[in-house]
Amino acid sequence: MSEKSQKQLNLNSFVRFLMFNMAFALLTVLPGCMSSYAQHLDAVKRDFYDVGDVSRAKTNLEKRQKLASKKEQDPLTLNAASLDISSGDLVGAKKKLIEVRNHFDELENDLGRKTSENLLKYWIDDNVVSYEGEDYEKVLIRAYLTIADLLDSGADARAYACQIATLQDEIVRKGEIDDPRHKGAKTNPKIAYPRVPLGPYLEGLICEETFTDSQEAARNYQKVAEWRPQFTQAKDDLIRAQTGVHSRPGFGRLYVFAFVGRGPHKEQINAEVTQFALLLADQIFSATNQYSVPPTLAPVPIPALVVEEPIVGSVAVDVDGKNVAATETITDVNEMAIRQYEATKDLLVARAVVRRVVKKGTIYAAKEAGQANSWINLAADVGGVVWEATETADTRCWGLLPAKIQVASVELPVGEHRLTFYPCGHRGDRVGETISKTVKIDANRNTYTLVVYPDHNPIADVVSSSDHQ
């Protein structure tokens, strides 16, 4: 046998071996890839939202954590923190939130990891990249930490509250990118992010209670009034802080936090390629290649943000049998997520386009190298099928957030009071079940409670700082 024939035989044998492994990968890897992160959380969400069984939701989540990859652990831990805070395990919630907050910070500063993972994601998909958290999730980690700490002891609450506004400013500042439409120009899609008034609101109520700086409390309440004018309580808060009177002698203040509705989550869709996304894709691709991205109109798989308007419009607060207040939205989580998604969707599509170009370019290169060899062409086609079939959108997220974070504040006499809460519709009519709790009000001090109403029925019991003094 000639040397040329032997080489061709070896090449054909190699290609057959390659085809076998690709087919094996298609049969064994594909079923797992088609089951997305979002689908894996269905049982947890069902137990939490539909059944209202936090204990069973925790058990299901722990099973998922044992099977999940390292790159899924952070969002799963955030969901575990939601279960903890809802059930009153404030220490456990804070520990998990701090762990993820610190890890997100480490990932953001790890440039070496980013370089290697960013290269790999164009060969596979975004799921191979370490999850750094959505911008709104990073802000809400600090918000949850503040609320959990206020319900627990309040020792670190002000530090956490300060981080909320600081982080928002930093996220927007770092959001500037090259504008592919105008050479040498910059654009910043993150300027569209809404300001989150929960941070200054929490800072204000902490400053007020400690009597350290009533003017600082007033400045924070002024921000709340400007950032969310529909939050009518801010006017009373501002007047109270300006007068320097936290509460009358023999009275204290009750703050009711309500987590209302089911928050945003992600599902895979096939998105149309916009002109701006194509320009971004070309910018990304040409940064490491001498070629441009070819025009494409075929839809690409990306994560879609899914939100729903909550049934509950507010939570009514009865004290000792008398209605005294109703919660108002201080932070619209759905709006935060929607505005971020709209600002960054073109970049998601652009990355998907680049990934498609890289994969198809590799297939064409393999065929070209095979010089019309039928085995090589078939192997390349099989490889293309495997690549297309196993690619999934990145649906990792903090899926147990509320749609809205609401709050009510009322001045009450010192002593024990029986609180009763029930959900109201958007027209103020009662739409669900009540939940009650006895709390203690101390003179000129704040008492905090948390209720969770994803829909008509409450989740777990009322969490109160009275139980953690």
Contact between 72 and 450 (Cβ < 8 Å): no
Q: What is the amino acid identity at position 378? A: L
Q: Measured between alpha carbons, how far is residue 377 from residues 6, 18, 19, 193, 382 in Å?
A: 20, 12, 11, 48, 9
Provide the CB-side half-sphere exposure for 152 (13 A, CA): 21
Can you tell me the distance from the alpha carbon of 432 to that of 209, in angstroms, rounded to the nearest whole number?
Answer: 33
Can you tell me the distance from the alpha carbon of 380 to that of 399, in angstroms, rounded to the nearest whole number?
Answer: 38
What's the whole-model pTM score?
A: 0.85
By the 10 Å C-beta count (0-12 exposed, 13-18 middle, 19+ buried), 230 is classed as exposed
Closest among 449, 198, 418 to 315, alpha carbons compared: 449
pLDDT of res. 379: 52
Angle between helices 135-152 and 198-210 in degrees, nearest 10? 20
- Both tokens of 283, joined, read 């910018």
Closest among 88, 71, 82 to 45, alpha carbons compared: 82
pLDDT in tens, the chain (469 residues): 555 555 454 444 444 444 444 444 444 444 444 447 777 788 899 999 999 999 999 999 999 999 888 889 999 999 999 999 999 999 999 999 999 999 999 988 877 776 676 666 766 677 788 899 999 999 999 999 999 999 998 789 999 999 998 999 999 998 888 777 777 788 888 998 989 999 999 999 999 887 667 789 999 999 999 999 999 999 999 999 998 889 999 999 999 999 999 999 998 888 766 666 656 665 555 555 554 445 555 677 888 999 999 999 999 999 999 999 999 999 999 999 999 999 988 888 887 777 777 766 665 555 555 555 565 555 555 555 555 556 778 899 999 999 999 999 999 999 999 999 999 999 989 999 999 999 999 999 999 999 999 999 999 899 999 987 6
Can you tell me the distance from the alpha carbon of 7 to that of 247, in angstroms, rounded to the nearest whole number?
Answer: 90
pLDDT of res. 180: 72
Q: Tell me the torsion sign for CA atoms 449, 137, 141, 130.
A: positive
3-class state of residue 258 by DSSP: strand
Instruction: Specify the residue for token string 């029925």.
Output: 457
Can you tell me the distance from the alpha carbon of 453 to that of 425, in angstroms, rounded to the nearest whole number?
Answer: 12
**Parallel/antiparallel/unpaired status of strands 446-453 and 251-260:** parallel
3-class state of residue 205 by DSSP: helix
Instruction: Specify the residue for token string 């610190």.
Output: 102
3-class state of residue 322 by DSSP: strand
Q: Which domains does the chain have, with CATH numbers?
A: 3-468 (1.25.40.10)
pLDDT of res. 99: 97
Closest among 250, 417, 461 to 320, alpha carbons compared: 417
Partners of 438 in the β-ladder: 418
Can you tell me the distance from the alpha carbon of 436 to that of 151, in angstroms, rounded to the nearest whole number?
Answer: 17
Read off φ and ψ for residue 455, nearest 5 degrees.
-160, -135
pLDDT of res. 468: 73
Contact between 350 and 284 (Cβ < 8 Å): yes
pLDDT of res. 27: 42
